[in-house]
A and B are shown apart, each in its own frame.
Chain A
Amino acid sequence: MLDLYGTSVSSRLLLGTARYPSPAILAEAVRASQADIVTVSLRRETAGSRTGGAFFELIRTLDVKVLPNTAGCHTVQEAVLTAKMAREVFATDWIKLEVIGNHDTLQPDVFALVEAARILTGEGFKVFPYTTDDLVVAERLLDAGCEVLMPWCAPIGSAMGPINLPALRSMRSHFPDVPLIVDAGVGRPSHAAIVMELGFDAVLLNTAVAGAGDPAAMAAAFTGAIEAGRTAFHAGMIEPRDMAVPSTPVIGKAVFS
């Protein structure tokens, strides 16, 4: 089980709810993933529209815990207000804190992120910060009251997979007791397996499932890969060698000439 701010969850896949071909396919994917947590967002509502309400009702039927995000926020003020509005709507003090610092890379503004995290934890929020793999920033986020860290492994939506394995390894070894969730950049189940083999606690992804030809099947594939990676981490993997080593014992080998 994975403990996040005192809540135990069995699934180590956190699934985003955006970009699916239809609400029905989103629901299928969430069920196939067996995810306990899905991410949601807030946007301006159109007068007379029930769009938000329809989505909210769909999420309620899925029997999952929601993790609202502050996607699209570029300042501390925007992120803090969005978090408060999300708490009002979703009745949860969990918040996936995003403060974007660059339009092209969607890289977090880590300075604003730390400041927003400090404000929000002070107001009772349980903050899940979308951050980089920078260890100093991670320390500051922990100092600010975060009990979970969510480093990217590549830019949002890039599907590149882990592009800096040494940094991720370093993060895991520096924070052995902090739940670490890789958030953003995962494109394939093998990417998720790799970060789980490094000892990360969970993976948060969206586009890799939503954009797949068969989102429900891909969700199941990710779940399998994440479980495999987690099991392998605990099983103790062998290290690579430069030279070949025969797997079949050579002792007692027949000599025919």
Chain B
Amino acid sequence: MSSDTRSMSGDTLQEPATKPADDPAELKVVPTRHYARWAAGVAVIVLVAQFAHGLATNPVWEWNVFRDYVFSETIVQAVWVTLQLTAYATVLGFLLGTVLAFMRMSRSPVLSTVAWAYVWIFRSIPMIVQLVFWFNLSALYKELGVGIPFGPVFWSVDSNSLIGTIGAAIIGLTLHQAAYAAEIVRGGVLSVDHGQLEAAAALGIPRLRQIRRIVLPQAMRAILPTAGNEIIGLLKGTSVVYVMSIGELFYQVQVIYGRNGRVIPLLLVATAWYVVLTSLLSVAQYYVERRYARGADRTPPPTPLQRVRQRFVTKENS
């Protein structure tokens, strides 16, 4: 190694290719060549191409079956059910989670202990176990009623007629989600500088307004990336409610391939939809995060769309 270097520097000394320039502007920079990186790149491209080729040509994928089913009425309806489950569980889960987070941070030992216990229990029970529990709610409580605690009941209703299967699924998903949401929201609130609350208190801003206007919008910056993860997880997690025979995407796909035996293309249908929905959520997350980043940067970075537009504009100009 060292002898190599010496002989090379000797070469340049003996016959300089060009006279060394005195003006630094004339000195050309030669970038390092990354041969190993290029080789790895080529290898990976070959592998990806093989896989794509297989996807397109292997008859097992049965793309014609995929085409027949991907926009079929049953599947589109199932996608709609999946979206509804996700939306309800997200909204209700994060609402309950926010309440739990503030209970946990409250100065009342009762509230904070109850919130802590809730999170502990619901994070400990697998979602699928919980769902089956809710599905069998009527075995647990035949009737649900309103009255004086431990006293007379004024109004009651059969629990199965109040909570249908979908209702049970939404409750199960919500309660599960709330436990995680509580911790995410709490983490976000803790990330807000204490001085912000002091300033709000010193200005006499009412307590609820402090939380809504000052704390939560700033906490959102820390909440959103993890919440995005959670919502995407939830979207795919809704597939476990197939155990309750609810017509969401994964359940319907199973029903169809149970009937016609075309397992692979129908799994592809489900995959495609999950990927599309997740991608839409990711894009939405990007823009929501951007909105809550207001004031965080001196000059906000351009959106991908703006960036593309900028590139075209500069190209046209040059």
* A, B from the same assembly: no
Which chain B residues have a beta carbon within 8 Å of chain A's beta carbons? Answer: none
